[in-house]
């Protein structure tokens, strides 16, 4: 049997403790896990793709089978080019379900050889999202329970350097 390669795709703007939980658990179930960071200029992310990749590399350095890469275009094309047959997504609450179902069924139509597998987020992170993390950071709240230490530091720096009208 060949190596099981999976992709955990997302925006990771920024990576949260909820993402870290999925990365850790997924990395134990596959031989090689590629965290795919979407280059998405339309969403005007807080962190550039280079920053998001660098942060992910830093906070996943302890996992030898985890690799961080950015991608553009269709996820199934990135998966094929990476030799991956599995896409991993985290499911928090029922509110995630409709979007995730649509995405996985679309990807299945685009490439029936690629399967989406869902991990349910650990209960302590089920409320957490990058959007709320950015909001807490914007208002100077304590971030340590939501994101890894390195990410909290970068968020604080980012908020300090951002102009008032740039929010
Ligand atoms: O962290 P996110 O923003 O929920 O991740 C969404 C992501 C990156 C998985 C999704 O937007 C994506 O796969 N984009 C690539 C474009 C694509 O393949 N679209 C077709 C499937 S819906």
Q: What is the pLDDT of residues 74-130, one digit of tens each?
A: 999 999 999 999 999 999 988 899 999 999 999 999 999 999 999 999 999 999 999
Mutate which of 16, 34, 103 to test ligand 1's pocket (most atoms within 8 Å of Cβ)? 103
**How is residue 137 written in tokens?**
């950071």
SS3 62: coil
Residue nearest to atom 3 of ligand 1 (CA): 11
Nearest protein CA to atom 20 of ligand 1, as residue: 74
pLDDT digits (tens, 9 = 90+) for 146-163: 999 999 999 999 998 865
Residue 75: C-alpha distances to residues 54, 58, 59, 63, 135 (Å): 20, 24, 23, 23, 28
Indicate which residues carry an active-site annotation.
19, 43, 92, 130
User: Which helix or strand (DSSP H or E) is residue 32 part of?
Assistant: strand 32-38
Question: Which residue has the CA at smallest separation from atom 8 of ligand 1?
Answer: 10
Q: Is the pTM above the cut of 0.85?
A: yes
């Amino acid at each position: 049997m060949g190596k099981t390669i999976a992709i955990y795709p997302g925006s990771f703007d920024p990576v949260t403790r909820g993402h870290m939980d999925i990365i850790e658990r997924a990395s134990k179930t596959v031989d090689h896990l590629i965290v795919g960071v979407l280059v998405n200029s339309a969403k005007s992310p807080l962190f550039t793709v280079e920053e998001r990749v660098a942060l992910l590399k830093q906070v996943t350095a302890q996992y030898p089978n985890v690799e961080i890469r950015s991608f553009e275009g269709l996820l199934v094309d990135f998966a094929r080019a990476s030799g991956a047959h599995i896409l991993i997504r985290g499911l928090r609450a029922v509110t995630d379900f409709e979007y995730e179902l649509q995405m996985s069924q679309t990807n299945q139509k685009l490439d029936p050889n690629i399967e989406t597998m869902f991990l349910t987020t650990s209960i302590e992170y089920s409320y957490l999202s990058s959007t709320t993390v950015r909001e807490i950071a914007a208002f100077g709240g304590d971030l340590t329970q939501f994101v890894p230490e390195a990410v909290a530091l970068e968020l604080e720096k980012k908020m300090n350097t951002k102009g008032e009208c740039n929010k």
